[in-house]
Amino acid sequence: MTARYAGRKLIGSLLTLAFVLVFNFFLFRVALGDPVANLFRGRNVPQARLDQMRTEFGLDRSLPEQFLLYLRETAQLNFGLSYQTRQPVWEEITGKIWPTVLLVGLSAVLSAAIGIAGGIVAAWRRRSRADYSITSSTMVFYSMPDFWLGMLLLVGFAVALPWFPVGGMSDITSTSGGFDAVLDQAHHLFLPCLTLTLAYLGEYAIVMRSSLLEVMGEDYLLVARAKGLRDVQVRNRHAVPNALLPVVTLAAINLGFVLSGAIAVETVFSWPGLGKATTDAIRGPDLPMLQALFLLFSVAVIVFNLLADLLYAALDPRVRDA
């Protein structure tokens, strides 16, 4: 990979980040109007108290002053105090990162592994019953909104069949620790993880199937067969490694989008991560929390897109030479 290609991609990512910073600042102020008034809507709060709150949160300053203060504080990871908890926003967020990373990370690995395997089988047995079954079933799940799929699983396996808990990350009444606590957490994790895994299976399966079908028409596979290699060897040694290139890029990109896409699933299952924190902040509305979460999700998408570009260029030299 050339330094020029990497530098060009890095500059593009930094420009995107700069746009997100500006957009993030003005979006919530325009969309939410006066956040302090909205926070106390429906309640009889003295005007003096509202003015005091605006002063405490710096909302009594002009927009240029607020913007410069916002840039300076953001660079120091200081996003102010939450309107709802009156605690530092960054401390609130860091306490919720691990549950989201656990849920999103595990579901991303499972959906990629199962989807890629299904795509390989579907392509290699094209137009067979296995191909139709894998393609149809994965696309059915992919076409469902993830929150609706989550509610179906919740009703089916937590309400009708009480095999799994209806929400949370652990049993709040449990005093067990060690391995028992891990099992309890896995029990709570199963349904939300299954929801995200099923929701993204179809994307990996279809991309892998299409990529492998394209590779299967290449001349070097005919040469490999002519050398006496069995079909399994031709597939595993030659076809699959080359077909994986677009899927690797898709996996890197999806990590950023799944992180922000977990909002609905975490809300359905009351999973105490960044997604549920976003829903709670919208209900507030909690301007500092919303700004910080929107920026975090945007940075995740930008970073993983940059990694995807660099990774694809490292795997396929034709990209960086284009």
SS (H, E, C) 56-76: HCCCCCCHHHHHHHHHHHHHC
pLDDT at 45: 64
pLDDT at 85: 80
Other Cβ atoms within 10 Å of 30 Cβ, number = 8
Under a CB-based contact definition with an 8 Å cutoff, are residues 74 and 21 in contact?
Answer: yes
- Tell me the pLDDT tens digit for each residue of 105-115: 888 889 989 99
**DSSP secondary-structure letter at 81?**
B
Under a CB-based contact definition with an 8 Å cutoff, are residues 205 and 223 in contact?
Answer: no
- Give residue 39's pLDDT band: very low, low, confident or very high (50, 70, 90): low
Percent of the chain with pLDDT over 90: 3
- Give residue 26's pLDDT band: very low, low, confident or very high (50, 70, 90): confident
Average pLDDT, the chain: 80
Assigned token pair, 126:
């094209």
234 compared with 289, residue with greater pLDDT: 289
With b meaning 16 or more CB within 10 Å and e meaning fewer, what string describes 287-307? bbbbbbbbbbbbbbbbebbbb
pLDDT at 52 over 80: no
pLDDT at 132 over 80: yes
Region 242-254 average pLDDT: 78
- Tell me the pLDDT tens digit for each residue of 135-194: 899 888 888 888 888 889 988 888 888 888 887 777 776 666 677 777 888 888 899 999
- Return all residues near 56 (Cβ < 8 A) that are at least 6 apart: 81
Q: Partners of 88 in the beta sheet?
A: 81
User: Using alpha carbons only, how large is the chain's radius of gyration in Å?
Assistant: 24
Other Cβ atoms within 10 Å of 252 Cβ, number = 19
Three-class DSSP category at 88: strand
pLDDT at 32: 62
- CATH superfamily, region 3-32+95-320: MetI-like (1.10.3720.10)
Domain ranges of the chain: 3-32+95-320
- Return all residues near 190 (Cβ < 8 A) that are at least 6 apart: 164
Region 62-89 average pLDDT: 82
pLDDT at 15: 92
Burial class for 136, CB neighbours closer than 10 Å (0-12, 13-18, 19+): exposed
pLDDT at 213: 83
* Alpha carbon distance 165, 295 (integer Å): 32
93 compared with 33, residue with greater pLDDT: 93
In the chain, what is the greatest distance between 2 CA atoms, to the nearest angstrom?
A: 86
